[in-house]
Structure 1
Amino acid sequence: MHAWPASEVPALPGQGRDLRIHDTATGGLVTLDPGPVARIYVCGITPYDATHIGHAATYNAFDLVQRVWLDTKRQVHYVQNVTDVDDPLLERAQRDGLDWAALAEQETALFREDMTALRMLPPREYIGAVEAIPGIVPLVERLRDMGAAYELEGDVYFSVEADPHFGKVSGLDAAAMRLLSAERGGDPDRPGKKNPLDPMLWMAAREGEPSWDGGSLGRGRPGWHIECVAIALDHLGMGFDIQGGGSDLAFPHHEMGASHAQALTGEFPMAKAYVHAGMVALDGEKMSKSKGNLVFVSTLRRDGVDPAAIRLALLAHHYRADWEWTDQVLQDAVARLGRWRAAVSRPDGPPAEALVEEIREALANDLDAPAALTAVDRWAALQERSGGTDEGAPGVVSRAVDALLGVAL
């Protein structure tokens, strides 16, 4: 599966700062000091309806991570998956009388278009669950053979007791885990499971649903969590720098994935930091496909909204915050974009070197994009009030905003 084209990232003078970022597993800020190549895995979409503003906010957060690392003169090895076979996708296809594979390809193509328009830097590897199956099956077989997984009526489940570190990603107690498992794709009430929290690794073939050769597992399809584990281990290995996604993935997805990997390898932790973006609401409720209260990036673009304004609307909120999308949020972003473009179009301005350092410091401090935007606002307001004598300043600001914030002026 191919990703989308990369927009050019301007090179800036000087060098950025190491990233301090909130780690869900420890509950505090950690300073990441990757080697020459920073490694990040971000969980991708289930392509039955893409791309809403909640998606865009999540991928914007991890795009900023890449830009901070690139500014430190590191390379970035970014991997993202596509869950192109799963219950929600199959249910949507059946509801609408569509071929599930065609639906997945259609929505993935739309996602690529939206990511390109928003200037999100693409992953080096963009891997679908279906194409990862040959690598998933041996991992499930190994977990079963080592006693970390068991069969139940043809399905294969992971035993959470096999990982002594289970629970350290989310920090939740068993009761909270059970509730979230039921809400987020698990089956805690299925009779015969060793532990209600045990997640499925391999689902035996069901009538009328797609299935693949699973070797000694029989025909079926992979569970949700093992998909990302297989892809991450194959391309990044254990101990990569950031495992990222929306806050609703901390449990069960990232918790279970970490336990799968740790049981398989005997190493801990799977990732140095677990980083989660907040949820976006509309009309007082979390924006979600199940509720149908979605604002789509593609719809905004068709309505003539500049993608740079959409991106500024996302950047106006701290990535970990839960916030609400409103018409006013978008109007404010459109106005800000206009002010910034007017400022950099003038022939000169106040010196910009200090502004570049302010943006760098804000982003290195747990991706504080709102503080970075405020710094650019101040420079633009000063330029509008009193102009300046530095002929190169508008160009410096334009390149810095593009390189560090992903906004083309």
Structure 2
Amino acid sequence: MLTRPVIVLFSFSCGLAVATIYFSQPLLDTIGAQFSMPTAQVGIVLTLTQIGYAIGLLLIVPLGDIVDQRRLIVGQTVLLGVALLATAISPNAWTFLLSITALGALAVVTQVMVTYTAVHAARERQGWAVGVVTGGIIGGILLARTVSGALCDLLGWRWVYVVAAIAVAATAAILARTLAGSDPTHHRLPYGRLLLSTLRLLRDESVLRSRAIIAMLVFAAITVLLTPMVLPLTSAPYHLSHTQVGLFGLAGAAGAVGAFKAGTWCDRGWANRVTGAGLSLMLAAWALAATLHRTLLGLAVAVVIIDFGLQSVHVANQSLIYRLDPELHGRVTAAYMTFYSIGSAVGAIASTWVYAARAWSGVCLLGAAISLGALAYWAALQRAAHQHRLGHQTHAEGLQDPVTHGTGECQ
């Protein structure tokens, strides 16, 4: 069983690894200028990162079910450091985009750690443990903007990736000394069949499929908020520095506190309630985000609320999908998080296109529409589940008292 110190180490390690794919968000204007990318196309940086992440989810994360997870985690972390260095020294746009894609693929080490946590945590504390690790992930996503913005202003954008490479290398050394090896049950399953079984899980497991779709929508919404945000903030009338833009990540980090409480609530069987509340909060927050032309406060509050809602929904999703067979957790994670990556990739490129055409108001309308779609989909699932329960109850009553039901005396 995992101890608290190891869970905290995982939370930090996951936060650092996932931060590497979000360092570029507050730097999009600088990176775009460096490599002569127009505003409407600069979102391709995050889109390719998420495409790389999706590739890693499909091809690397399932390996956690058939190989020693310790070796997989440490090996990926080392290679992530190499990809960060390659990104830092990229001489042109093509090598930068290739390096950032590889970085995204290797950053899926976070999901291998989540799987490791779900498998090795005590059953009665699984929701809490996954919540703590997921809190580190969300915190890393948000604080990435603060750190990268400050380092960019101090040293330039390339040093953001140099410093990250050093930190990742140190983390790899600590993980190598801390983690215990594992003996996967399905060590004889061929790699091709392993990947195919991941797709079959999506086909056969309705809970996984529905929660993956919700994840795709909520992560698309958060990416729509955060990707183009740097563009109006660094322009008139605010003219904020990258460091100041990064401070919005600190505001969002307050929302990551939701991971700790959401995990506890889900352990009590409240995952559906947490999902509904989180989706409702995300939708409502877009009205505040739309006030950016008048005040920065509305956007700051919106970031907190949307991140809290996202975090709560994400933890609720994981608490439900990890109730499936523990021997399948690597593939379950891969299938679920692939949809997250698709949502993030589409949200990144769509938001910059919309911003170029319709400015910030168009971005807020897009984000609100996606959030509304997620809430409507969840509500439809609840109605379908309720009708299924009623039908099952009616059928059971008919089996218990066929005579009275047949004569119509109970109607």
Tell me the TM-score normalised to structure 2 length.
0.25
Q: Which one has the bigger helix percentage?
A: 2
Higher relative contact order (CA 8 A, sep 6+): 2
Tell me the TM-score normalised to structure 1 length.
0.25
